[in-house]
Structure 1
Amino acid sequence: MPPATAAPGTPVAAGPPGRSAPATAPAKNRRARRGRELRAGLLFSLPAVVLLLLFMVAPFVSALVLSFTDQRLVSPRPVSFVGLENYVRVLTDAQFWGALTNNVVFALIVVPLQTGAALGLAVLVNRRLPGRVLFRTIYFLPTVTVMAVAATVWKLLLLPDGGMVNGVLDTLTFGQLQPGWLSSTSWAMPAIVITSIWQGVGFQMIIFLAGLQAIPASLYEAATMDGANAWQQFRNVTLPGLRNTLIFVLNVTVIFAFRLFDQVYIMPQFPGGPLDSTRTMMLQLLQTGYGRGLIGQASAIAVIFFLFVLAVTLVQRRFSREERAVQ
């Protein structure tokens, strides 16, 4: 018997009321929960965003604006727009290029040496050896020392007459080697390099140590069962496991290397000396802005310096990304 059909125009009875409400309620609850989580996340991140805007974005924008003016530290004249004049003066200044060269040389020496030393120390203190906690503390202590204090101590150690370093060298070499660490153009930068590595290697060691402890022990056990020696385990297990940590450490070390200031200001007899052999971009910026009162020109140096470090960091990250893609 065919089923009965409703006559044309007869309203079809709807299902029981409230049947569709339970189906949409979970979706509404999820949307409401996501909204609350989003508002909470924005609220918690607001202090960090405000600090970022106040102490990073706003100063850079201010420096960018001032770099196009003839702003001076103290001057009765009104500030006027000068266009790219400050950038032309900076880029045609031989002292600026000398400072940039010193920064590049310092980074090329410090970054590989400090990173390699930190990785070696991290591997050493990660082993189950007696006294490893004491050694971790000893290696990390220079990091918590303010760089200005560390530079002052090293300046006393490296004095040509009465300094401990030259005293030891004089004894070991029977007076044949007594470098003028901070008075010679050949030895001033090596002295700055030694001080910087001594002070910064502990921070990198802790970062590498955290990365080493995150590598599963089962990988080393499997490598041992396959007959891998210590070097093969380091090359095929440790280094791949530390790839992201290594990239982070390299980026941070490059940035710190280009921010070199305290050592070159405190350790030589004159800031940047002798004969500008330790002059850096940060010192050039400070002396231009506060020594000569040329705030507009110093702002141009700051902008150029920022763009240069940004370019170096982006190139470094690009190479790291391509290396990961190949592997």
Structure 2
Amino acid sequence: MTTSLTAPAAPARQQLPRAHTRARTRRSTAGRRERRTGLAMASPALILLLLFLVIPVLLAFGLSFTNARLISPNPPRFVGLDNFVRAFTADPVFLRSTLNTFVFAAVVVPVQAALGLALAVLVNQKVRGVTAFRVIFFVPVVTSIVVVSILWKFMYQSDGLINSFIDTVTFGAWQGTAWLNNPSTALGAIIVLSIWQAVGFHMLIWLSGLQTIPEELYEAARMDGASPWQQFTNVTWPGLRSTMVFVLVTITIAALGLFVQVDVMTQGGPVNSTTTLVYHAVRKGYREQETGYGATISLIFFVIVLVIALVQRYLTRDED
């Protein structure tokens, strides 16, 4: 009797490992199918990154050690570090471009970030017509930077709108100046334009961060008798830490890559007072056809941006 009752259980025990094996096989097949599908969906972006980012960076790295020219019957020749030595010792325009780039970034980054935060706090108020102000502040962002630069170029002329406005406000005491033709004011004029054009974008980034802070925190602060400034320093600013990191990084990268405004408005002048690293690299690499030297400047610029980004990331890291 014992044998007859336990005999049918043996095939069932033998089938359990087979069922588990089939289940694992199905899961493995589904996982491979998902990976293939994911790779197929990501392949267009990967191909574009490879063609327009990875390969150009590698080519620039290789060309920076040669004397390659854009149009030349002679093949490129390896020159080692000669281009780098030339940049730091025999090219005063490169040094001036580096200085202009850092001055531009040192002014634009804090001013644009602070102004964007101030505008975000203002348009975050629950008052009538606040949506219209958000649109007004954001319109310059969606306008082509080339168009904006051309318009401001006319406004900066001696008989332009800006001088006319100042003349009216000062009752004729102001003697107009050509802002873009004066080496002492040209870079400042481009700084003002750049801040005005891009501050609306960072206002929206700050605004999105403000709207993630729970209202209950402000209610608790008001119940404790906190003033508006204390609410900002103890509730608003700590809640914007991650937003602050993003805003600082994006503004810094955009400021260091200044090119369009200079190319449209001043072409680096007057007396190289507005030339930047990116503009100098493009001018050397394409307009003067010194491809190898232009690649060298681009590589130096890449290292500078990388170092600054790493320093910013270290300074804004989470303490925990």
Alignment of 1:8-19 (within 5 A): 16-19=13-16
Of 289, 306, 315, the residue aligned with 2:302 is: 306
Structure 1: which 5+ residue stretches go unaligned? Answer: 1-12
- Would the alpha carbon gap of residues 245 and 76 (structure 1) be closer, same or farther in structure 2, given more than 3 Å must change? same
Superposed, 1:241-260 pairs within 5 Å as: 241-260=239-258
The answer to whether structure 1 residue 325 and structure 2 residue 315 are counterparts is no
Q: Which moved more, 1:53-62 or 1:40-49?
A: 40-49
The CA deviation string for residues 16-42 of structure 1, in whole angstroms up to 9 with x for no partner, is: 332345556665555444444333332
Given candidates 112, 115, 123, the residue that maps to 1:114 is 112
- The residue that corresponds to 1:170 in the other structure is 167
Contact 1:179/1:187 (8 A) holds in 2: no
Q: Note if contact 1:67-1:299 (Cα within 8 Å) is conserved in structure 2.
A: yes
Letter in 2 for 1:132: V
TM-score (norm 2): 0.91
SS for the counterpart of 2:213 is: coil
Residue type of the alignment partner of 1:48: A
Spell out, residue by residue over 1:27-61, the C-alpha distance to the aligned partner (whole angstroms, 9 max, x if none).
Answer: 55554444443333322222211111111111111
CA distance in 2, matches of 1:142, 1:77: 47
* Long gaps (5+) in structure 2: 1-9
Distance between the aligned counterparts of 1:31 and 1:205, measured in 2? 48
Once the two structures are aligned, what percentage of the paired residues are identical?
Answer: 46
Q: 1:32-181 residue pairs with structure 2 within 5 A? A: 32-92=29-89, 93-161=91-159, 163-177=160-174, 178-181=176-179
Q: In structure 1, how many angstroms separate the alpha carbons of the residues matched to 2:37 and 2:236?
A: 39
1:296 aligned residue (292, 297, 310)? 292
8 Å Cα contact 2:120-2:206 kept in structure 1: yes
Once residues 58 and 275 of structure 1 are traced to their aligned partners in structure 2, the CA distance between those partners, rounded to angstroms, is 35
Q: Structure 1 counterpart of 2:60, which letter?
A: A
Query: Could you tell me the TM-score, scaled by structure 1's length?
Result: 0.89
Judged with a 3 Å threshold, the aligned counterparts in structure 2 of structure 1 residues 37 and 229 are, in CA distance, closer, same or farther, namely farther
My pick for the range that moved more, 40-49 or 188-197, is 40-49
Deviation at 1:67, TM superposition (A): 1.0
Count of residues in Structure 1 that have an aligned counterpart in Structure 2: 310
Determine which of 218, 224, 227 is the counterpart of 1:226.
Answer: 224
Q: Are the equivalent residues in 1 in contact too, given 2:157–2:177 (CA < 8 A)? A: no
Matched letter for residue 74 of structure 1: I
Matching residue of 2:3: none
- Residue 4 of structure 2 corresponds to none
- What root-mean-square deviation, in Å, do the aligned CA atoms of Structure 1 and Structure 2 show? 1.9
Q: 1:312 to 1:128 in 2, by over 3 A?
A: same
One-letter amino acid matched to 1:64? F
Aligned residue number for residue 263 of structure 1: 261
Residue identity opposite 1:120 in structure 2: A
